[in-house]
Structure formats: structure tokens, C-alpha cells
């Protein structure tokens, strides 16, 4: 049987985005032998109310590194300023370097419509790279990709201009406790900044037990499957298994990458190899 060894590059805007949106998949991928890299396109320097600048950047880099170690994956926090990312040529070149350097089979990123400008422009930058990563005369110092990667978007709840479409649904139940540990590495976010910011049902706390239970509540809410997800799960896992799934991560195909057809899903995602 052919070994499972795709190269997966997740490009989130901030040092916790990939973990929230694809941490369970990364754990499953790494267990199966895939090479996974989580990249934060910005340095995360705005994600706190009491810390800032290089002190916060260093802390968030260390948190991202600790989270990556839980999953056994690679991690990179780039230097673009948090809250100020723009989809310019210099930023595009920096992403081109990361993409050509890693040579991914699959790229994951945000959808282009999102509340946060850094999420929007990370997506825009990935879209802007989608074609030119294969063009030799665009930044000729790095060899072009000869095969276009598949590109897929992280799940979100935005409805306009189009609601998220779950083209791939992965059961992350078998690794949920590790995902919770990955997220808990981002202490500055889940137990300090996000409770202060007030957009999520989180609470500032130093108690390790309470932290893990807050994280469990967070993933139970964020990773719960809908009825539509369950019918998609049934295709790959069988109806009986799908009915009992509690935690999922979902991805939507981006039209600018290689086609995300059934063969590509089987080749690239941590779903059962033969389908149901
Ligand atoms: Zn973010």
C-alpha cells in the first residue's frame, strides 16, 4: 500500500489561527506520516491588552513552537506586522518564498471574506501566489513549483457573499485531547487576551484544570458538526460512524489551486483511505 506522505502548508494570519482551524487535522496528518507546517503570516504583536512589541512577539513565537511540538509539526511565525498586513508585492514575495521553499501538495488558508483584515489579506496573498508559484520568471531565484498545489479554505461562519461549503469534513475526535493541549499552549490568547477582548466565551484563569475545561468547551462549540457535515462524513466514514462524530474540521476548495476531487481528498486528507 502506498504510504501517506503529502506536504501540507497551513497559512493563517496569526499565531493561533492554524491551530484553531486545522490543529486536529495536523495531528492526524502527522500521525499518518504527512509533513505539516503551520505558518503565521503576521507576528501577532497586537494580540494582547497588557503586552506589546518584541516581548509579545517572542512570547507568541514560543507558544506557536510549543503547540507545534504537541503535534510533531513544523512552525513559522513571519515578521509582517499584526493588524497591518497588506496584500502588496513585498508580502506576496515573502509568501512565495515560503511556498516554493516548502513545496506543498496542499495549502490551507482563510476565506477571502472575513471580519479581520489580516485574515482577508492572508487569503488574498495566497490567491495571488496560486498561479505565479509555478511561473519561473516571477522571482527566478527560487525554482517554481511544477505541480500546482490544491488550495483549501478553513471553516468560518460568514454568510456573505457565500456561506462556507464543507467540501472536506474530517473527524478529529480521535485527537481532540491533543488539539485541546495544542490550543492551551497559546496562553497569552485563550487565557488572557481573548477573555479581555470579549468576543468568545473564555475566562482569564491560571488554574491548569480550568484552562483545559475552557478549551474543551471552546472546541465543543467550534468543532461541532452540522447535519450537512454528517452527511458528508457518511461518504467517507460510513453512516454509523458519522452519526457518532462529535468534533470535525472542515475545508472548502479554492478554485485557484489544483482540483479538490475525490482522488485528491483521499491523497491529501486524513480521511479513511477507501471511503465508505
Ligand atoms: Zn487570526
Return the sign of the alpha-carbon dihedral for residues 29, 191, 223, 256: negative
Give the mean model confidence (pLDDT) for residues 199-212.
87
Asked whether the predicted pLDDT for residue 102 surpasses 60, the reply is: yes
Asked whether the predicted pLDDT for residue 112 surpasses 90, the reply is: yes
Asked whether the predicted pLDDT for residue 224 surpasses 90, the reply is: yes
Bridge partners of residue 171, in order along the sequence: 248
Asked whether the predicted pLDDT for residue 274 surpasses 70, the reply is: no
Residue 229 CA to ligand 1 center (angstroms) comes to 24
Asked whether the predicted pLDDT for residue 168 surpasses 60, the reply is: yes
Contact 168, 177 (CB under 8 A): no
What confidence tier does 275 reach under pLDDT thresholds 50, 70, 90?
low
Largest CA distance in the chain: 54
Residue 218 CA to ligand 1 center (angstroms) comes to 16
Q: What is the DSSP letter of 190?
A: I
Residue 84 CA to ligand 1 center (angstroms) comes to 12
Residue 17 CA to ligand 1 center (angstroms) comes to 5
Give the global pTM.
Answer: 0.96
Task: Give Cβ neighbours of residue 163 (< 8 Å, ≥ 6 apart).
Answer: none
**What CA dihedral angle connects 208, 28, 244 and 153, to 10 degrees?**
100
Contact 56, 187 (CB under 8 A): no
Residue 14 CA to ligand 1 center (angstroms) comes to 4
Residue 50 CA to ligand 1 center (angstroms) comes to 18
Please report the pLDDT score of residue 222 as a whole number.
Answer: 95
Q: Sort strands 248-253 and 150-154 into parallel, antiparallel or unpaired.
A: antiparallel
Q: How distant, in Å, are the alpha carbons of 54, 69, 200 from that of 191? A: 20, 20, 11
Residue 240 CA to ligand 1 center (angstroms) comes to 35
Give the mean model confidence (pLDDT) for residues 238-267.
96
Please report the pLDDT score of residue 199 as a whole number.
Answer: 78
Please report the pLDDT score of residue 2 as a whole number.
Answer: 59
**Domains of the chain with CATH codes:** 7-169+250-268 (3.40.50.10320)
Contact 168, 271 (CB under 8 A): yes
Give the mean model confidence (pLDDT) for residues 73-83.
98
Give the mean model confidence (pLDDT) for residues 117-122.
98
Residue 18 CA to ligand 1 center (angstroms) comes to 9
- When mean pLDDT is compared across 45-59, 195-209, 210-224, 226-240, the lowest value belongs to 195-209
Count of H-run helices and E-run strands, the chain: 11, 7
Other C-beta atoms within 10 Å of 266: how many?
A: 15
Asked whether the predicted pLDDT for residue 1 surpasses 60, the reply is: no
Residue 273 CA to ligand 1 center (angstroms) comes to 32
Amino acid at each position: 500500500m502506498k504510504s501517506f506522505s503529502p506536504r501540507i502548508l497551513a497559512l493563517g494570519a496569526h499565531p493561533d489561527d492554524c491551530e484553531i482551524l486545522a490543529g486536529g487535522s495536523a495531528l492526524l496528518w502527522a500521525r499518518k506520516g504527512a509533513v505539516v507546517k503551520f505558518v503565521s503570516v503576521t507576528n501577532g504583536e497586537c494580540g494582547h491588552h497588557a503586552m506589546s512589541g518584541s516581548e509579545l512577539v517572542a512570547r507568541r513565537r514560543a507558544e506557536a513552537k510549543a503547540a507545534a511540538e504537541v503535534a510533531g509539526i513544523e512552525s513559522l511565525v513571519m515578521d509582517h506586522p499584526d493588524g497591518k498586513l497588506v496584500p502588496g508585492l513585498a508580502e506576496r514575495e515573502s509568501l512565495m518564498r515560503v511556498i516554493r521553499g516548502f513545496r506543498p501538495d496542499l495549502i490551507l488558508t482563510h476565506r477571502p471574506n472575513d471580519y479581520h483584515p489580516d485574515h482577508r489579506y492572508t487569503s488574498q496573498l495566497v490567491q495571488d501566489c496560486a498561479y505565479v508559484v509555478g511561473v519561473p520568471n516571477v522571482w527566478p531565484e527560487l525554482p517554481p513549483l511544477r505541480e500546482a498545489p490544491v488550495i483549501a479554505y478553513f471553516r468560518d461562519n460568514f454568510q456573505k457573499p457565500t456561506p462556507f461549503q464543507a467540501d472536506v469534513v474530517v473527524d478529529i475526535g480521535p485527537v481532540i485531547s491533543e488539539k485541546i493541549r495544542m490550543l492551551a499552549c497559546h496562553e497569552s490568547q485563550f487565557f488572557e487576551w481573548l477573555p479581555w477582548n470579549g468576543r468568545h466565551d473564555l475566562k482569564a484563569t491560571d488554574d491548569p484544570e480550568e484552562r483545559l475545561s475552557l478549551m474543551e468547551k471552546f472546541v465543543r462549540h467550534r468543532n461541532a458538526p452540522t447535519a450537512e457535515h454528517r452527511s458528508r462524513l457518511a461518504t467517507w466514514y460510513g453512516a454509523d460512524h458519522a452519526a457518532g462524530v462529535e468534533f470535525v474540521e472542515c475545508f472548502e476548495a479554492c478554485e485557484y489551486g489544483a482540483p479538490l476531487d475525490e482522488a485528491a481528498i483521499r491523497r491529501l486528507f486524513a480521511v479513511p483511505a477507501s471511503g465508505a
